Chain A
Amino acid sequence: MNLLAMTIHLPVPGVAAVVTAQVLGVLLLPPLLMSVIAKTKAWFGGRDGPPWLQPYFDLLKLFRKGAVYSHTTTWVFRAGPIVSLAALLTATTMIPVLGPNSWLGFKGDLILVAYLFALGRMFTVLAAMDTGSAFEGMGSAREVTFATMSEPALFLCLAVLAISTGNLQLDDMLGTNLAGAWHSVGPAMLLVVGALFIILLTECSRIPVDDPLTHLELTMIHEVMVLDHSGPDFAYITYGAALKFTLLGSLLVHAAMPQVAWVGLPGALLWLAALMALALLVGIIESTMARLRLNRVSLLLAGATVLSGLAVLLVLFNKLA
């Protein structure tokens, strides 16, 4: 078995311009999705909201600034944002975003992707604890608690996709084969989409699990961990958060709509529209829901795990019957 045999999907091999356009498209996309969420929330609040390009301006501004480092911190603090972003960028190559195929892939890459997310989170947590601040330690504890509960759900979701398509490579798990699974075990797929949505909200620190806009240390989860980062480091973190939303969102959108026919530029635009619709939905949820009480969050996450576990049961049962 050549487990490490990589398959590389490039849209039109040899045409550098198309490849560059695709990579740029995916890399420029995340802040736009954040903008969609911000605009939705502004619309619900009866405001105009920040300009569409504001997240890009914020990133540029942060990149032009210098970073301040506390004397008590070590190299871990400086490595945190860089390693997190690097892990997410690596994951980007293995998740299909604006087309039915990812750029790289091999059998079992779903496990690597899941652990790249975990690696990124681990370094964010370590960097937060490196500062020695009590608040950041508290935020780290919460982040890790929720992560331990959302990770089993993510793995169970991936297991459902793997079992129902008989594939272990992420972009093969989401393509044509999944369309067949939607036909034969539709209810299970609906459960997976529901669970993935809860995972998306948790992992990206959105309402109802965490409020990205809160500025009270006692109530923050993700934001409290990055309080001490500044300048380019904070830009990496902001961009990384948006990228994580894009990646998990793509996973969700591709699982919900296994459209293999959406290729090329028109296809990319359709996937973009789907992702923006997802961002709109998240914005609507953030505008209409309050944050859950901390001890109810575990119930929500247990719910996601149970949903995906139920989906595994249904898929297995369907295979046996």
Chain B
Amino acid sequence: MLAALTHPIPDSLHTAIDGALVLVLLLNLAMLATSRLATCIRLFSFQCLVISVLPIAAATASDAIGIHGFFLMGGTVVLKVFLIPFILLRVIRTGDIQREVQPYLGFTGSVVVGAMMIGGAFALSSRLVLPGQAMSTLLIPVAISTLLIGLLILVSRYKAITQVVGYLVLENGIYLFGLSLLHAMPLLVELGILLDVFVGVFVMAIVVYHIRQEFDHMDTQNLAPMKEPA
């Protein structure tokens, strides 16, 4: 069995962690509600900043994982808070891309569906049996809802660049899940995931840029007719 935390967490820190997790949820909803690509990416960057602090908060509760949490935070901040948003904003700027998000599902509709997903995540997580105790009871529901909302962003927006953002939000959900197993997961694996995400975004940015150069837009709907006839 894994014991995620050895010491009980002090009360004020607990409130701070809960607050940060609720902020992550609100940022998810804000990403669904915003109509600007650049705002969406900045919100994502802010969400990454919030979740990057969480390993440190967990580490202060149990001193054993100090170094681990510190590396994780450093990697997240450098890659997800600065580098990836920089690449994506640069694609928007240089690619001369129309700045509005184009949703299949209206903004109000997206927010309502997102809220239902959060409700579902809370219901689901109350049935999950976890090995050991997570640093907050909210961690698992927030992780599941971030995953689901990432998926929602991925499938409900036309543009290739919002699909990249959806993929990244989904990855944030997985990262939050990983926090509940902070002890068990080796640092190398997590750094490997971060590197993968970075390379993935790098490649996707180039692909999006070339789609834009080749076809004068990056509406993924028009990619569908390009497949071979069955």
Residues of A in contact with B (beta carbons under 8 Å apart): 186-188, 190-191, 298-299, 302-303, 305-307, 309-310, 313-314, 317-318, 320-321
Flag if B33 contacts A314 (CB, 8 Å): no
Q: Which of A186, A299, A306 contacts B18 (CB 8 A)?
A: A186
A-B contact pairs, 27 of them (CB 8 A): A186-B18, A186-B19, A187-B15, A187-B19, A187-B21, A190-B22, A298-B108, A299-B33, A299-B107, A299-B111, A302-B111, A303-B33, A303-B111, A306-B111, A306-B114, A309-B119, A310-B22, A310-B25, A310-B115, A310-B118, A313-B118, A314-B22, A317-B126, A317-B138, A318-B137, A320-B126, A321-B137
Does B71 make an interface contact (CB < 8 A)?
A: no
Does B141 make an interface contact (CB < 8 A)?
A: yes
Which residues of the other chain, A, contact B111 by a CB distance below 8 angstroms?
299, 302-303, 306
Closest to B11 in A: A183
Closest to B21 in A: A187
Q: What CA separation (Å) do A317 and B115 show in the bound complex?
A: 15
The residue in A186, A191, A307, A320 that gathers the most chain B C-beta atoms within 10 A of its C-beta is A186
Which residues of the other chain, B, contact A310 by a CB distance below 8 angstroms?
22, 25-26, 115, 118
Does B112 make an interface contact (CB < 8 A)?
A: yes
Which residues of the other chain, B, contact A190 by a CB distance below 8 angstroms?
19, 22
Does B82 make an interface contact (CB < 8 A)?
A: no
Determine how close the nearest CB of chain A comes to the CB of B64; give it in whole angstroms.
25
Determine how close the nearest CB of chain A comes to the CB of B102; give it in whole angstroms.
16
Supposing A299-B108, A302-B111, A303-B111 touch, asked if A317 and B29 sit within 8 A by C-beta, the answer is no
Does B86 make an interface contact (CB < 8 A)?
A: no
Supposing A298-B108, A302-B108, A317-B138 touch, asked if A309 and B115 sit within 8 A by C-beta, the answer is yes
Given pairs A186-B19, A306-B114, 20 additional interface contacts (CB within 8 A): A186-B15, A187-B15, A187-B18, A187-B19, A187-B21, A187-B22, A190-B19, A299-B111, A302-B111, A302-B112, A303-B33, A306-B29, A307-B26, A310-B25, A310-B26, A310-B115, A314-B22, A317-B138, A317-B141, A318-B137
Closest to A309 in B: B115
Residues of B in contact with A (beta carbons under 8 Å apart): 15, 18-19, 21-22, 25-26, 29, 33, 107-108, 111-112, 114-115, 118-119, 122, 126, 137-138, 141
Closest to B125 in A: A317
Which residues of the other chain, B, contact A302 by a CB distance below 8 angstroms?
108, 111-112
| Dominant secondary structure of chain B at its interface with chain A | helix
Flag if B119 contacts A313 (CB, 8 Å): yes
Closest to A296 in B: B107
Closest to B112 in A: A302
Q: Which of B19, B26, B112, B122 contacts A317 (CB 8 A)?
A: B122
10 interchain residue pairs of minimum CB distance: A187-B22, A306-B115, A321-B137, A302-B108, A299-B108, A187-B19, A313-B122, A186-B15, A298-B108, A187-B18
Which residues of the other chain, A, contact B138 by a CB distance below 8 angstroms?
314, 317
Q: What CA separation (Å) do A310 and B107 show in the bound complex?
A: 18
Q: What CA separation (Å) do A303 and B33 show in the bound complex?
A: 9
Q: What CA separation (Å) do A25 and B54 show in the bound complex?
A: 48
Closest to A298 in B: B108
Closest to A297 in B: B108
Which residues of the other chain, B, contact A299 by a CB distance below 8 angstroms?
33, 107-108, 111
Closest to B136 in A: A321
Closest to A186 in B: B15
Which residues of the other chain, A, contact B21 by a CB distance below 8 angstroms?
187
Q: What CA separation (Å) do A5 and B122 show in the bound complex?
A: 38
Closest to A188 in B: B22
Which residues of the other chain, A, contact B29 by a CB distance below 8 angstroms?
303, 306
Q: What CA separation (Å) do A190 and B19 show in the bound complex?
A: 9
Q: What CA separation (Å) do A307 and B18 show in the bound complex?
A: 15
Determine how close the nearest CB of chain A comes to the CB of B60; give it in whole angstroms.
19
Which residues of the other chain, B, contact A309 by a CB distance below 8 angstroms?
115, 119
Q: What CA separation (Å) do A303 and B22 show in the bound complex?
A: 15
Flag if A306 contacts B22 (CB, 8 Å): no
Which residues of the other chain, B, contact A313 by a CB distance below 8 angstroms?
118-119, 122
Determine how close the nearest CB of chain A comes to the CB of B167; give it in whole angstroms.
24
Which residues of the other chain, A, contact B33 by a CB distance below 8 angstroms?
299, 303
Which residues of the other chain, A, contact B115 by a CB distance below 8 angstroms?
305-306, 309-310
Which residues of the other chain, A, contact B18 by a CB distance below 8 angstroms?
186-187
Closest to A187 in B: B22
Q: What CA separation (Å) do A74 and B107 show in the bound complex?
A: 42
Which residues of the other chain, A, contact B25 by a CB distance below 8 angstroms?
310
Closest to B23 in A: A187
Which residues of the other chain, A, contact B141 by a CB distance below 8 angstroms?
317
Closest to B15 in A: A186
Determine how close the nearest CB of chain B comes to the CB of A72; give it in whole angstroms.
38
